[in-house]
Amino acid sequence: MKRKQNFFLKDSDEKNQIFDKLRDDFGIWKRNVQEMNKPFFAIHTDFKQLFLKDISGGALKLYIYLGFHAKYYTGELWHTNEEISSFFEKDQRTITTWFKELEEIGLIFREQKGFRMKANTFLRPYGFSFHEASYFPDTKNPHNQIIQQIETSIALKLELQFVLIANFSLKEFTIITIYKIGEVYECFYFLNFYESHMKSLRTSLKNLEIKFDNIDIDSPLSSSKNLHQSLYNTILKYLEDSF
């Protein structure tokens, strides 16, 4: 508290100098890390929305540890409970509890191939993945193609989470159907819908008791230079605003 009070009493120029130095120090460190090509483990922004609020501190520490040691392209490692408990200076029962939590929330798979063999631990995919849906926007009732896709997915027992309607100034709509498969959210998008199509689509979704919602966007997704990035940002913004 005393250190913070001392900072608060400094004049504006001193505070700005401290902030500028912190910014410069971080920039220098970041460039040095890039030049050294240090190994790293990426945790994507999906993790915040899907796991961060509820995951325990111990399970989170274990997940980061596993990430540092997993193979880059397969997500696989063979570290034992003994090795991990030694690193964290925790008993093996605690490590087992952390592993169980990670398995229950779908972030890892861990099993032995045989008796007295080391367990294989795999990091599992999570987050949002995007696919352009095949449909013909110039047909008389293009919304029927979305409904047909949804009805087929229901018949196949796919887990439809909800439908998001991205609205650009009532001029152009993008429809995103979001399915959950494991901890991956497979998103199928339909571009170039227009206001004249929306009433029929909303009515059909209500009749099927499908959850749907709307989000206003500042520019048409169909003209985005990086469409999947724009779709991802749209979904994250919706989640941030809604929860």
Give yes or no for residue 69 having a pLDDT over 80: yes
- Pair of tokens at residue 173: 């709509």
Domain shared by 185 and 108, yes or no: no
Q: Is residue 5 part of a domain?
A: no
Considering the domain architecture, whether residues 201 and 136 belong to the same structural domain is answered as yes
In a domain, 231, yes or no: yes
Q: In terms of domains, do 70 and 102 share one?
A: yes
Looking at the structure, tell me whether residues 143 and 119 fall in a common domain: no
Segments in the chain forming alpha helices (H): 2-8, 12-36, 46-47, 57-69, 81-88, 92-104, 143-155, 195-207, 227-242
Beta bridge pairs of residue 130 = 187
211 and 185 both lie in a single domain: yes
Q: Running DSSP on this structure, what letter comes out for residue 170?
A: T
Quick check: is 187 in a domain?
yes
- Determine the straight-line distance between the first and last CA of the chain, rounded to whole angstroms: 33
Number of domains in the chain: 2
Q: For residue 27, tell me if it sits in a domain.
A: no
Between strands 184-193 and 127-132, the pairing is parallel
Domain boundary among 55, 90, 123: 123
Show Cβ contacts of residue 27 under 8 Å, excluding neighbours closer than 6 positions. Answer: none
DSSP three-state, residue 184: strand
The verdict on 159 and 73 lying in the same domain is no
Alpha carbon 100 to chain centroid distance? 21
Q: Do 218 and 143 sit in the same domain of this protein?
A: yes
* CA–CA gap between residue 104 and residue 213 (Å, rounded): 29
State the burial class of residue 197 (Cβ atoms within 10 Å of its Cβ: 0-12, 13-18, 19+): buried
For 92-134, the pLDDT digits (tens) are 999 999 999 999 999 999 998 888 788 999 999 999 999 988 7
Same domain for 135 and 109?
no
Residue 13 within a domain? no
What is the pLDDT at residue 177? 95
Which CATH number characterizes residue 99's domain? 1.10.10.10
Q: Starting at the edge strand that comes first in sequence, how are the strands of the sheet with 172-181 ordered?
A: 127-132, 184-193, 172-181, 159-168, 212-216
* 174 plus 99 within the same structural domain: no
Q: Residue 235 to residues 13, 164, 166, 189: CA-CA distances in angstroms?
A: 41, 8, 9, 12
For range 128-148, the mean pLDDT: 80
Whether residue 51 is found in the same domain as residue 86: yes
* 148 within domain boundaries: yes
pLDDT at residue 196, as a whole number: 85
Side-by-side strand order, sheet with 76-77: 76-77, 119-123, 108-112
Compute the distance between CA of residue 145 and CA of residue 192 in angstroms, rounded to an integer: 13
| Residue 135 pLDDT exceeds 70 | no
Same structural domain, 167 and 238: yes
Find out whether 104 and 114 touch, Cβ atoms under 8 Å.
Answer: no
Gap between the Cα atoms of 159 and 157, Å rounded:
6
Range of the domain at 157: 127-242
One domain for residues 186 and 118: no
Q: What is the pLDDT of residue 80?
A: 94
Instruction: Establish if 118 belongs to a structural domain.
Output: yes
User: Tokens for 225?
Assistant: 């230079």
Smallest CA-to-CA distance from 205 within 137, 136, 154, 139 is with: 154
Summarize the confidence of residues 30-38 as an average pLDDT: 92
